[in-house]
Amino acid sequence: MTCVCGYNRVNESGKGFSMSKFAIGEQVENVANDHESGAVVDVCPTVDGSSRYAVDTEGYGALQFFAGEKLTFAVSRRGAT
């Protein structure tokens, strides 16, 4: 898959490193709406220095973009009763 933004945790403007909250491949959950989940496929910088995350959400067949404060690490539901 070709990255949407091509941003890999490094601010290429020469201002130093900009660490993102989530890494590509991590499973995340949208805490704002219905706890939909998916995998981070890209991290995109914004003009204000924060990050947006391209997430391949399960069941939608398209990428959705979220601000970091709208996401949390997905909780594994395996073995739950």
58: left (phi over 0), alpha (psi -120 to 50) or beta: beta
- pTM: predicted TM-score of the whole model, two decimal places: 0.70
Give the pLDDT mean for 15-23. Answer: 69
Which tens digit of pLDDT belongs to each residue from 22-77? 999 999 999 987 778 999 999 999 888 889 999 998 777 789 999 999 999 997 65
Q: What residues have CB less than 8 Å from 45, skipping those under 6 apart?
A: 5, 7, 11, 18, 51, 52
Domains assigned to the chain: 26-73 (2.30.30)
